[in-house]
Amino acid sequence: MKKNAVEDQAVERIVVQAFGELTGRKGKPVRYAMMADTPVGTLGLAAGEAGLCRLEYTKDEDRFLERLLGAFSGPVLRSDALDPALRALERYFEGKHLSFDDVRVDLSSLPEFARKVLRETARIPAGRWLSYSQVAAKAGNARASRAAGNALHHNPVAIIVPCHRVLRSDGSLGGYGGGTSNKEWLLQHEGATLL
Amino acid sequence: MATKGYGAQFTRDAISRTPFPGVIPIVTNTNRVAELLGAHGIELARHLRRMVRDDDVAQDLLQDTLLRAHRALTRLGPGANERAWLYRIATNAALNYLRDKARERRAMELHARERDADEGGHANTDGAESRLALWQRVADLPERQRVALTLRIADELEYDEIAERMGCTEAAARANVYQATKKLRLGGLP
């Protein structure tokens, strides 16, 4: 289909207004996209004006959309606007480019310590890992490894904020929201040396 | 607004304060409508906008489509191909609108011709008239041909994309578009 930016804007405006009229959902839209059949299963992505705010493991689109409608009060719509993030993920899974420097992430809805933990986590390069207490220390509180673990467990932007690169001090995997087998797959894909 | 759409009168607020005692309010599950709108809104709005070429009308028809589809899908239960239903309803809504518009325009032109005849001139018809006339003939096609053809010419979709939206095979999409264009040509189109 041939498209252009002016048409895209007009089309989105129509849908946003229809959302307001039909469902009472008003304000800035959250756009989403699906990525099915990745090596770690089906992923759902969502972004607001400030950047990517969700990357979740999910069963299917219905389930993900339901979650987004529960989490956000405005219009939620499937959109091509997330294509750059999808391409970055494709490159990642193909092993061509393992970092996501060009994907803007929005963590502004999180409490400060969680945001710090995730920001430090985002600095861990592919192929490396840190322990929960190391990340807690970098975030400013070495004794808060449990809180750090909690923040990582609730990471809203999986893979791109690489919470899978945080393990137990003894090198064992620890938990993972997307399942430990996926955590292991991601680490091995990135060439990390696991103990 | 120029259309006779139903969008505005079924908003959530309107439903919650139905003023007519004894009239059963239309129960609309706004979450379900939000799901349909979220998953399919962009592509449907594009489809409608390309057909009617007016943002306000497209929005009105989109809302109408969502509410009708919501009712149909509630009746049909799970397993119905919601995307195909939405496209059917949207296409029919747009064609109805265009047919009414063509009728209105013809009435206006008749009026103008009569006036011009009185003044000794003659009215001119423009490209919009033939476009509306074409849509009117599309509206007379069988439903599957109608939907397939509008996706092909208004949305400029490939056959596999049409098949996806209509929930049919690519061969069926191709056959529907072929039959439709054949019928329109038989009617004397270039």
Average pLDDT over residues B121-145: 77
Q: Reply yes or no on whether the pLDDT at B189 is more than 50.
A: no
Per-residue pLDDT tens for B53-93? 999 999 999 999 999 999 888 888 777 899 999 999 999 99
Contact list in A for residue B48 (CB cut-off 8 A) is: 14
Task: Please determine, for residue B6, whether its predicted confidence score (pLDDT) is greater than 50.
Answer: no
The pTM assigned to this predicted structure is 0.83
Does residue A25 contact residue B34 with C-beta atoms inside 8 Å?
yes
Please report, rounded to a whole number, the percentage of residues in chain B having pLDDT higher than 70.
Answer: 77
% chain A with pLDDT above 90: 92
Compute CA distances A96 → A186, A189, A191, whole Å: 14, 11, 13
Q: CA-to-CA distance for B88 and B23, rounded, in angstroms?
A: 29
B34 min Cα distance to partner chain A (Å): 6
Catalytic-labelled residue, pool A46, A103, A105, A163: A163
Residue B21 pLDDT exceeds 80: no
Q: What is the pLDDT of residue B75?
A: 85
What is the structure's pLDDT at B5? 42
Residues A183-192 pLDDT 10s: 999 999 999 9
What is the pLDDT averaged over residues A63-74? 96
Q: Which two tokens stand for residue A37?
A: 């059949």
pLDDT of residue B12 exceeding 50:
no
CA A138 from chain center: how many Å?
A: 21
Ramachandran angles phi, psi of B114, nearest 5°: -60, -40
Q: Greater confidence, B132 or A133?
A: A133
User: A33-46: per-residue pLDDT in tens?
Assistant: 999 999 999 999 99
User: Letter for the amino acid at B110?
Assistant: L
Is B63 in contact with A19 (Cβ distance < 8 A)?
A: no
The predicted complex's ipTM stands at 0.88
> Are B30 and A18 a contacting pair at CB < 8 A?
no
Mark out chain A residues that contact chain B at CB-CB < 8 A: 1-3, 7, 10-15, 17-19, 21-25, 32, 61-62, 65-66, 68-69, 75-80
| Chain B interface with A: residues with Cβ < 8 Å | 7-8, 10-13, 28, 30-31, 33-35, 37-42, 45-46, 48-49, 55, 58-59, 62-63, 66-67, 155-157, 161
Residues of chain B in contact with residue A68, where contact means CB-CB under 8 angstroms, are 38
Read off the tokens for B31.
């979450």
Alpha helices in chain B (DSSP H): 12-16, 30-52, 55-76, 82-119, 127-139, 143-153, 159-166, 170-186
Tell if the CB–CB gap between B42 and A76 is shorter than 8 Å.
Answer: no
Least confident span in A96-100, A136-140, B181-185: B181-185
Looking at the complex, report in whole angstroms how far the Cα of residue A27 sits from the nearest Cα belonging to chain B: 14
Q: Which two tokens stand for residue B18?
A: 């139905």
- Catalytic residue check, A53: no
Which pLDDT value is given to residue B186? 55
Least confident of A151-165, B27-41, B170-184: B27-41
Q: Compute the mean pLDDT over every residue in chain B, rounded to the nearest whole number.
A: 81
Residue type, A130: L
